[in-house]
Amino acid sequence: MAKIIINNYKIKNPEELTSLCPFNAIEYKDGKLDINAGCKMCKICVKKGPEGVFEYIESNKIEINKDEWKGIVVYVDHVDGDIHPVTLELIGKAKEMADKINHPVYCLFIGHNIKNSAKELLHYGVDKVFVYDNKELKHFRIEPYTAAFEDFINKNKPSIALVGGTTIGRSLAPRVAARFKTGLTADCTILDVQGNTDLDQIRPAFGGNIMAHIYTPNHRPQFATVRYKIFSAPEKSIDADGEIVFCDMKENKLKSSITVLEIKNKEKVSGIEEAEVIIVAGRAIRKLEDMDMIYKLSDILNAKVAVTRPLIESGWADAKTQIGLSGRTVKPKLIITCGVSGAIQFVAGMNKSDCIIAINKDENAPIFNCAHYGIIGDIYEVIPGLIEKLSNDEVSLDNLVAVSKG
């Protein structure tokens, strides 16, 4: 448990100290300074306040034997054995980190009649696939799935647990982490591991204004969730050298207060996540009718149209087409941003794209920091020019880049 305390609350100029906190967590009442519930543990007051007045302390600090915890486990996100591709992406990242600390890579597969699907995972280079196969696990229900996850951790003690940032993953991961009183960092965009097995977890914070570096040195396992399309999946191998381990649990541990009465399958719609080419409309679009030129360009390139948050708030596009932290994460072969400034919230959702072409009249726009090619100009002049040029030429990525550079 960590907290900030005030050692000397009788100060001549308390207003100077209350202004230290950007969250208004320092209060002056009845001649005393106090820390209220708004404290974010940012430690700005400790660093910038008078020496000795503010102090950051950790009570009940736990010393953990990190050598007892070994392995990186990836939770297998699936529906009836159909594995979500985010699982493969996490396997790729887990293998990369495991090589640095000489740890095995595990998969945790929970469900029913999933044996054949479990064998598929061995082709991606995992060391062991732990399978909990039981009729009570046929449909995702939080209590039995949590119990199975908890059972696996108790028996195998993995140092790191990676979970996909899907609807199921976001429900399951925090519940399991709470069972072990350990930390969980959601929606990580960067993961790495230190030599002492501490997991470096980096994600945008405070509305995307900063990149927070989070680690959990005194607890195990270390939990992180990651969205789809953040990392790359490993190549599928012909060989399958790993091992499948079938795990048993007592039936009473798998009981649930939830009864699944009916499953209604949602119609699958091809979204922007799967698109190979994406055209993004940004704040520079002045009115709804001007979206027509974006759609014309997308038709020529056989692309999907996406938008930034201001256009969603204006009601000009479906929320499913928004890219960014509060939208979707994409990794197409080509993405063209049209009048997008490049706020960190947006960039975090598309900066892994193979080729990024940015169009913006502001030469200092942040989007140019991540773009492979940049066009400085008004989209109302550049896009019609691109449409005219591409309408007369055979369209390919190479000649599009050539047109952009010209």
pLDDT (0 to 100) of residue 111: 96
pLDDT (0 to 100) of residue 33: 81
CA distance 162 to 149: 12
Residue 79: CB partners within 8 Å, gap ≥ 6? none
pLDDT (0 to 100) of residue 207: 66
Residue written as token pair 């499948």: 244
Q: What is the pTM of this model?
A: 0.81
CA distance 190 to 127: 23
pLDDT (0 to 100) of residue 265: 83
Secondary structure (3-state) at 175: helix
CA distance 49 to 388: 61
CB 365 within 8 A of CB 341: yes
Residue 153: CB partners within 8 Å, gap ≥ 6? 161, 176, 180, 221
pLDDT (0 to 100) of residue 222: 97
Element (H, E) at 115: helix 115-121
CA distance 285 to 37: 42
E strand intervals along 266-388: 277-281, 304-307, 334-338, 355-360, 373-376
CA distance 258 to 140: 10
* Token output for 235: 């190549």
CA distance 70 to 103: 6
DSSP assignment letter at 322: B
Residue written as token pair 């951790």: 153
pLDDT (0 to 100) of residue 12: 67
* Token output for 360: 């913006």
pLDDT (0 to 100) of residue 372: 95
Overall size of the chain counted in residues: 406
pLDDT in tens, the chain (406 residues): 566 767 765 566 777 788 888 888 888 877 778 888 888 888 888 888 888 888 888 766 667 899 999 999 999 999 999 999 999 999 999 999 999 999 999 999 999 999 999 999 999 999 999 999 999 999 999 999 999 999 999 999 999 999 999 999 999 999 999 999 998 999 999 999 999 999 999 988 776 667 889 989 999 999 999 999 999 999 999 988 899 999 999 888 998 989 999 888 877 777 899 899 999 999 999 999 999 999 999 999 999 999 999 999 999 999 999 999 888 999 999 999 999 999 888 998 999 999 999 999 999 999 999 999 999 999 999 999 999 888 876 555 555 655 555 5
Whole-number Cα distances in Å, 329 to 274, 291, 305, 321, 339: 10, 22, 14, 10, 19
